[in-house]
Structure 1
Amino acid sequence: MTGIVGLPYAGVEWLLERWSDLLGAVGEELGIKMLQYGFMHRAFLVGMLIAVMAPLIGTFLVHRQLALIGDALAHTAFAGVAVGLFVNSVLGTGVSPYLTAVVVGMLAALAIELISEVTDAYNDVSMAIVLSTGFALGSVLISINAGGLAVGVNQYLFGNLSTVTSQSAILLVGLFVVISLVVGITYKQLLYVTFDETAARVAGINVRWYNRIMVMLTALVVVGAMQIMGVILVAAMLVVPVAGATQLARSFREALLASVVLAELAVLMGITLSYQYNATAGGTIVLVAVGIYVVAVLLGKLQSRRATVEDPAEQAAD
């Protein structure tokens, strides 16, 4: 069994090495110093994968008016990190905090749905409950054993390029494959549920099941993005590129593709600027994403004005 599991792991590890070799060669050929460091190779790879995953899920969330769920799950992912650090500190195990964050994030995602179903509370109520519970749990665990946790948790709160290890990159590649496959397989159902839950139920679609799939996928994206963005800013990548794309796109599919492009621009520019100016990667990426959003809004307004001016002219010609 171990050998079977080790095969894909070794394959991903081999791909990471080839990716590093490629960027290293490009950096050496063009004289780009930042591309000559292994941690930057991993940072760019993780960032580019996040720039696909986050809009892929965020586009559904924004159209369902669930933009804040990313923030709720980010705070519970913080609790998952605290659990991992606490267990490692007390028991001396080598459990990755990202793995515990995945588990806690998935449980929190299910909790949001269950609270809404059992109590008939609105989604924002269940999200607020889960958010506060997760952050409180993380705070308590840190306060109980503050020796090394307070220092160790800072990198997860604010993100750090240098903390993206090979193991973390491999984990994210796995999350990327899972999320992409699930969205690809369930795309039509998720789209149906997003725009008309009542019609989806009439059509025989299990709305409750697909709602749970969406929140669980969101939890996976949050944990993956946390490596660079940090818990505090991770929700931005689910919302800001999508908000910018909706200003330019005319359909859901166009918005999805445009949001991925905008997210990639924000990540690549943000990581480069954070390296050049020794700034926090997560904050830099978000600021760039917001700047791109402003440009998208202006372009969207310009398109609307052109359409308004051209329509009367066309009518007169007819």
Structure 2
Amino acid sequence: MTATLALPLQAGGSALDPVLAPIYWLLRYWSELLLWVAGATGIELLQYGFMHRAILVGLCIGVMAPLIGTFLVHRQLALIGDALAHTAFAGVAVGLFLNGVLDLGVSPYLSAVVVAMIAALLIEVISEVTDAYNDVSMAIVLSTGFALGTVLISLNAGGLAVGINQYLFGNLSTVSAENAAILLVLFAVIVATVGLTRNQLLYVTFDETAAAVSGISVTWYNRIMVMLTALVVVGAMQIMGVILVAAMLVVPVAGAAQVSRSFSESLVVSVVLAELAVLLGIGVAYYAEATAGGVIVLIAVGIYVVTVAAGKLKTATAEESAPEVGSIDAGEGASSD
């Protein structure tokens, strides 16, 4: 095998390189591991550095998205991912606009993080201040974000269109070392935050009133949840694209709900289903030369259909095996005078 890894300690002279240097070392070791696996197994896609980063990002998405999506689905906030994805699109457009017009050298990925988190807070603030339902505030933020993105693109006479396409539809080959490193930071923040606040988030998810009575700041934890969702959306945007990113927050969780008996079990199963969809999707997309985000979502939906069938079969089997309860005759066994 002649494939070698071209992953330098620095990712191209970015101002973030000194901060991300330790993570670049981790990326190098990860790539060396996959190169060894490629040599041992002969798997072609493992021979290339860009696929190493894409697989790592995919594995992180497979954990982050269901981890947050499980809370969102149980709170009936499945569409918030779509709203934040459209505002992340605006964030990317802001970064590309500043780079293309003002030559500021801003990372579109980081500008997407900032704009998406601001939008997440706006969704909560609009609901609190106006007493509007969450879906109303989500629709307002979604429309504003997408409008801002399209205006910035048009102001540059279409010059941003080429740069924006990879964020709209996702692209395996454009996952840079810098973006992969930022994703790992987001992954650590999300997992650590959920780990530290799991009980409070769970309480707020299933009974906000009781949580407020017990002294938990419902408003604060609601804001934590939407900000974590924004981070997941931006992290998954590299591979999934903003158009399809919301699917990974919902579809694996919906599939897990069909075969799980508890919240914790649903969380674990949804992660397994998401990882299966991501890995299969990346492999199929590479060999078929198709868009990775679309393939991953189609496989995730296929897995969902299988879990629905498995859940129905499980229920039918349980009903058939349950002992039949006979009717009781009121007159039977009664003593006669």
Instruction: Flag whether TM exceeds 0.5 (same fold).
Output: yes
Larger CA deviation: 300-309 vs 46-55: 300-309
Aligned equivalent of 2:80? 69
1:38 aligns with 2:49: yes
The one-letter code sitting in structure 2 at the alignment partner of 1:305 is A
- Aligned partner of 2:206 among 195, 198, 203: 195
> Which amino acid is 2:122 matched to?
A
Give how far 1:311 is off. 1.6
Deviation at 1:256, TM superposition (A): 0.3
**Distance in 1 separating the partners of 2:195 and 2:87:** 27
RMSD over aligned Cα atoms: 1.5
Q: Which has the larger radius of gyration?
A: 2
Query: Aligned residue for 1:249?
Result: 260
Does 2:71 align with 1:60? yes
Structure 2 unaligned segments of length 5 or more: list them.
1-15, 328-337
Query: Could you tell me how far apart the structure 1 residues matched to 2:240 and 2:35 are?
Result: 24
* Inter-partner Cα distance in structure 2 for 1:315 and 1:128: 54
1:172 to 183, 192, 201: 183
Query: For residue 80 of structure 1, what is the aligned residue in structure 2?
Result: 91
Task: Tell me how far 1:306 sits from its aligned partner.
Answer: 1.2
Partner of 1:222: 233
List structure 1 runs of 4+ shifted beyond 4 angstroms: 5-8, 313-316
Q: How many residues align?
A: 312
Taking structure 1 as the reference length, what is the TM-score of the superposition?
A: 0.96
3-state DSSP class of the match of 1:146? coil
The one-letter code sitting in structure 2 at the alignment partner of 1:59 is T
> Offset of 1:118 from its aligned partner?
0.2
Partner in structure 2 of residue 121 of structure 1: 132
Give the one of 106, 119, 123 matched to 1:95.
106
Matches of 2:136 and 2:247 in 1, distance apart? 20
Contact 2:169 2:291 in 1 (8 A): yes
Corresponding residue SS for 1:66: coil
* 5+ long unaligned stretches in structure 1: none
Question: How big is the shift at 1:33?
Answer: 1.0
* Deviation for aligned residue 1:312: 1.9
- Aligned position for 2:10: none
Q: 1:305 aligns with which of 316, 327, 331?
A: 316
Map residues 279-318 of structure 1 onto 2, 5 A cutoff.
Answer: 279-312=290-323
> Within 2, Cα distance between the matches of 1:190 and 1:276?
41
Specify which of 133, 138, 150 is matched with residue 149 of structure 2: 138
Partners of 1:227 and 1:71 lie apart in 2 by 15
Q: Percent identity?
A: 73
Give the partner amino acid of 1:90.
Answer: V
User: Shift of residue 93 of structure 1?
Assistant: 2.1
